[in-house]
Structure 1
């Protein structure tokens, strides 16, 4: 959720990880070339910065093993995507999508989890009533249409 909520602007690219961060126009390498990523050792994935990877195409040397046809196609797609990413001399910036000024707050992170949910009309009145809890719970279930029907015939 964090990676989906952060927009990264590539600056000097020293603080970004080549294989893990969404630096390719907001995409991860795993989204562009998942078969290629499978051929990179986990230790290299955690260490290779974007700046080091782009220097003399060092990222290509991280790939070990035989490439399948799908991996070759994805390698070419990744190679083309890496070339078009502009790198300037400034600092890498991380912008939080859920606030206007782009700074992270715990409040905005909490609200992010409920983005797109709807409220239940009448639920506030049910929970603020002075009725016993079991009646409030039953009223809340009935508002949601989740009450179980009990048969009237107990003769069986």
Structure 2
């Protein structure tokens, strides 16, 4: 796709041969105020749309496509996980092992060795409410833990013991925007 865009920009044709580009494509894609032409990078724009879709899937269950498992690029998922923070109310819409639900941190930030011992399927589906019910999160851990892993486990247990769920719904905040 970029090849077609370059050809049209430089020669007005679908295809061009080497040596026709007058300026490096990275420079062309920069915003106008940085000296570029403001032509967006389609790959980055695609990731941005996927991040938007992840945000709407998390915050708006009334969308007709809610619940569909649409594949999303790993870069978009990583950016979303960095940018989104959950404020836990009843724990029904925040993932225990994956979301940043404890003071802006995820369980992986607090106890990475413990999270590594949890199967991916459980890590991607266990809600905070489910995990805290009868401390069932401890049953998700499979295999042995090292001494450091055990330390992380006890540290995580102390943090979780102080958590109290409320009857309000979970809310989600976009950390990259001052208004959330």
Shared fold (TM-score, shorter chain, > 0.5): yes
Gaps in structure 1 of 5+ consecutive residues: 103-156
Query: Matches of residues 6-155 of structure 1 in structure 2 within 5 Å?
Result: 6-102=84-180
Q: 1-side partners of 2:176 and 2:115: how far apart?
A: 29
- Give the direction of change, closer, same or farther, for the CA distance of 1:68–1:10 in structure 2 (3 Å limit): same
Tell me by how many angstroms 1:7 deviates.
Answer: 3.2
Q: 2-side partners of 1:61 and 1:7: how far apart?
A: 25
Q: 2-side partners of 1:45 and 1:13: how far apart?
A: 15
Contact 2:90 2:170 in 1 (8 A): yes
Structure 1 length normalisation: TM-score? 0.60
User: Alignment RMSD, CA only?
Assistant: 1.5
- The higher relative CO (CA closer than 8 Å, separation ≥ 6) is in 1
Could you list the runs of 4 or more consecutive aligned residues of structure 1 that deviate by over 3 angstroms after TM superposition?
97-101
Contact 1:21 1:28 in 2 (8 A): yes
Gaps in structure 2 of 5+ consecutive residues: 1-78
Structure showing greater radius of gyration is 1
